[in-house]
Structure 1
Amino acid sequence: MIQTPIQHEEVTQGIYTLDFYSDKIGIAMGGDYTKPSGMLGNKAYTEDGGKTWSLIADGTSPGYKSCVQFVPNGNGKEMVAVGFTGISYSQDGGSSWEDLSEESFYTLRFVNDSTAYAAGKNRIGLLRFK
């Protein structure tokens, strides 16, 4: 078992989503779904296949997210995260994030490098990236 720096003291805290761009580059996100605005200890990045993890954007947006996906052909630097708190995008490996929307979604899947579908309670969204 590998330990990560993602917060996990309470039963509502932990990693809720994980994605790998390659066999080395990966991201883990989560937090505490009962305190979704919390931004500490909820985002971690690996460059060695998950052997070690480092917190990224600690203390900054986004808070709790339930799904993160690397953008295909984004060189392991571009990613999109969704949750009931909205949609966020990073183009620098998760060091900084831009909140794109407050629309609530639970999961996201890319069909190519510019189109993704998101799903949430009673909704499906089509997201197009340039």
Structure 2
Amino acid sequence: MRILVALDQSPFATKVLEKALLLAKHQTAALTIMTVAEDFMDIGDYMDTTAVTDKLFQAAKKAAEGYAAKAKAAEVEASVVVEQGVSPANLIISQAESGKFDLIVMGHQGKSGLSRFLIGSVASRVVSHAPCSVLVIR
């Protein structure tokens, strides 16, 4: 079994990782930890988007390294993927397709009401379009 755990940099990501580690141990599964650094769209001369984008990527990479250390401490071998782009959902789906994963484990931010419909949800998009099963941790 191949498991992709998609993590952001929120405090809740640790809970998602813990569930993925338990599942990987139980299933003797190959685990891949994925973080996505969001990419700023070009907003012209108002801001140096390259510097911000680089900082976001470095922060995502550092978070991924910390998650990998937690996996190692739990005695679970895990590979790490750090991607950068405008749509985290599309990058997660693409990784799941190319890596031929059996399961995606991810968290849900729990937006409710109008904000959920206006902003959308990465988890909702992944669930709707993933090529495999998705376990959403609340």
After TM superposition, the score normalised by the length of structure 1 is 0.29
Of structures 1 and 2, the one with the larger relative CO (CA 8 A, separation 6+) is: 2
Larger strand share, 1 or 2: 1
- Computing the radius of gyration over CA atoms, which structure comes out larger, 1 or 2? 2
TM-score with structure 2 setting the length = 0.28
Which has the larger share of helix? 2
